[in-house]
Amino acid sequence: MDASLMRMLTTLGYALPELLACGVALALLWSSAQRGRARDHGLWGAGLMLVCAVLQLGIGFYQTWMIDGMQGDSAVGMSRLFALLGAVRLLVNCVSLGGFLLVVWALCQATRTSHAAPPPA
């Protein structure tokens, strides 16, 4: 097996658990949650996390492809590229965090009671 294919499969292997979890969360919310604002927020949050996981996978593939292609190029160019990719990964992770917070907010909305608790005696 080609070495670059093996590196690409390894990158996919690292991303697969998050991709599967986001996909299952979307399927569960879509098929079994009651319609309403909490479900909509949960779908948006899980969808945002799935998009970010796919972006992270794409960045990983690009980085692996660039490592394979930069055999004789300067280390300075590769260092700048990896610094830029690191900043992009940080931004994508921040957006994914926003998706997670949407899911948690939806859970809080779904579990709130509509009436206030009785005053203490």
- Domain locations in the chain as residue ranges: 18-111
Question: Where do we find the tokens 């700048």?
Answer: 80
pLDDT at site 118: 64
CB 25 within 8 A of CB 47: no
Distance between CA atoms of residues 110 and 38, nearest Å: 6
The CA–CA distances, whole Å, from 26 to 14, 35, 53, 92 equal 20, 14, 13, 19
pTM of the complete model: 0.82
Per-residue pLDDT in tens (0 to 9) along the chain, 121 residues:
688 889 899 999 999 999 999 999 999 999 988 899 999 999 999 999 999 999 999 999 998 888 887 766 677 778 888 899 999 999 999 999 999 999 999 999 888 865 556 667 6
